[in-house]
């Protein structure tokens, strides 16, 4: 999935994997709530992008590489794997 900048909705800042959508799950000691999901950042695209919920020593996307962060649902899009799956199944 792709994470988009908080201030500029058209700017992709990272790619990652959602690991929790449970509102009671905590990231950085704070519950996710209903508007956030927990994401592992796999690929950083914009290192200086500010995290929506900084914690500990993590303030920018560059700090969050391969780490768990809270990200708002409205700033996440999932990658469409349908075509990819069709290609694999047709082989």
Q: For 64-86, write each residue's pLDDT tens digit.
A: 999 999 999 999 987 655 444 44
State the first-to-last Cα distance of the chain, in angstroms, to the nearest integer: 25
pLDDT of amino acid 10: 83
Across the strands, what pairs with 43? 15
Residue carrying the six token digits 């959602």: 18
Alpha helix (H) ranges present in the chain?
82-90
What CA–CA distance (Å, rounded) separates 74 from 22?
A: 16
Residue 3 buriedness (CB in 10 A; 0-12 / 13-18 / 19+): buried
Residues 9-56 pLDDT 10s: 789 999 999 999 999 999 999 999 999 999 999 999 999 999 999 999
Q: Is the pTM of this model over 0.85?
A: no
pLDDT of amino acid 41: 96
Q: Is the pLDDT of residue 89 over 90?
A: no
């Amino acid at each position: 999935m792709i994470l988009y900048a908080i201030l500029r909705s058209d700017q992709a800042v990272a790619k990652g994997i959602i690991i929790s959508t449970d509102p009671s799950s905590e990231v950085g000691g704070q519950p996710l709530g209903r508007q956030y999901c927990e994401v592992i950042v796999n690929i950083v695209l914009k290192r200086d992008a500010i995290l929506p919920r900084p914690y500990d020593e993590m303030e920018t996307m560059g700090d969050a590489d391969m780490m768990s962060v809270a990200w708002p649902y409205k700033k996440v899009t999932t990658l469409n794997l349908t075509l990819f799956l069709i290609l694999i199944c047709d082989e």
